[in-house]
Amino acid sequence: MQKVVVAISGGVDSSVAVYLLKEKGFTVEGIFFCLFDEPPGVEFAKKIAEFFNIKLHIWDLRESFKQMVIEPFFRGYKSGITPNPCVLCNRYIKFPTLKKVADLVNAKFFATGHYARIIREDDSFFLSKGVDRKKDQSYFLYGIDKKLLNQLIFPIGEYLKEEVREIATKAGIPSKIAEESVDVCFLKNKRYYDMIKSSPGPIIEKSTGKIIGQHKGIHLFTIGQRKRLNISVGYPAYVVEIDPIINAVYIASYNEVYKKEFYVTDLNWFSNPKEIFVCTVKIRYTMEPQPATITLVSENKVKVSYHTPQFAPTPGQSAVFYDGDKVIGGGIILKE
């Protein structure tokens, strides 16, 4: 039997991933990541391992998670960008650790309960969208090292969320074990902006340069935002720029939030890119990828030119490049 290590979070998705792999005849071992103090899922993970009668490894990753995810998260907001902690965690913490543990226990494969797929074309492996378009998580996974894909399995990637729940019910997995996980896990239901100290500063109208109000901290804002401005300018105002140097938030009308071009860095590729190519690009998890031309500027920087302007490309967030369902690569949106 081939062995696989499965990341167990305590939720329904990872539980069903274990079930499906066992059904296929794999020898399964689980791993729970301790990422911050008092991780809420550890007892659930132990119950899942007991339920399936599998060995559970508990790995303390709190220090590396703090350095590579939590600190950049808060540092990003203080510098006027909107970070994406899930991307950082997947790229630098979860999947490298899965690889390490798989090697230690002589497992050929490792797996998670993400809604995505690994596809094989000839001798190459690629990341692809999950079948459930509403739950597809490929956007958060683009940073995985391509070298890991031939060992990686996403067991629930071929299923809809409703089907996963049905499998959990039929398998008898207790519902309290199959709770949903939280997106920004380390906030523990707190609001990030309540955890950052920042100074008040001016709200400036971009077109005129006039100071039209005061904000309570740049960390409270992201590009495209309307809430918490508390100003009146005679038109619906949106945040279009955040300047940490002068501690200013710039606003403009709705149309000015749309952009055709921006730059992306910190790139990860699943296939060698041409100097110029056309694909679809997704700049937030909830949007449909839209057509764009990608131009390589340097080894670690590209220009994205949308064919139609898109709402609020946001510095610090990820831009992910697709060829149909297949992920070509992606990176972090730069400030101008």
Same domain, 34 and 82: yes
Is residue 34 among the annotated active site residues?
Answer: no
Using one digit for the tens of pLDDT, what is the confidence trace for 214-243?
Answer: 999 999 999 999 988 989 898 999 999 999
User: pLDDT tens, 114-164?
Assistant: 999 999 988 899 999 999 999 999 999 999 999 999 999 999 999 999 999
Quote the percentage of the chain above a pLDDT of 90.
83
| pLDDT score, position 178 | 47
Both 306 and 207 in a single domain? no
Q: Which of 149, 161, 91, 61 is nearest to 318 (CA)?
A: 91
Task: Round to whole Å and give the CA distance between 208 and 154.
Answer: 51
* CATH of residue 201: 2.30.30.280
| Same domain membership, residue 281 and residue 149 | no
Of the CA atoms within 13 Å of residue 12, those in its CB half-sphere come to: 21
**Of 187, 208, 243, which residue sits at a domain end?**
187
Nearest Cα to 302, choosing from 316, 319, 288, 285? 319
- Taking the C-alpha atoms of residue 98 and residue 86, their distance in angstroms, rounded to an integer, is 16
Examine the domain organization and report whether 138 and 231 are in the same domain. Answer: no
Catalytic position from the list 34, 86, 185, 279: 185
Domains held by the chain: number? 3
152 and 181 together in one domain: yes
On the question of pLDDT at 13 being above 70, the answer is yes
Q: Would you say residue 192 lies in a domain?
A: no
State the Cα–Cα distance between residues 7 and 32, nearest whole angstrom: 6
* pLDDT tens per residue across span 43-82: 888 999 999 999 999 999 999 999 999 999 989 998 999 9
pLDDT in tens, 185-224: 766 666 666 667 778 999 999 999 999 999 999 999 999 9
Q: Cα(first)–Cα(last) distance of the chain, in Å?
A: 53
**Sign (positive or negative) of CA dihedral 152, 157, 162, 163:** negative
Options 34, 86, 89, 279, the catalytic residue: 89
**Is 89 in the active site?**
yes
90 in the same domain as 74: yes
Q: Residue 62 belongs to what domain range?
A: 3-187
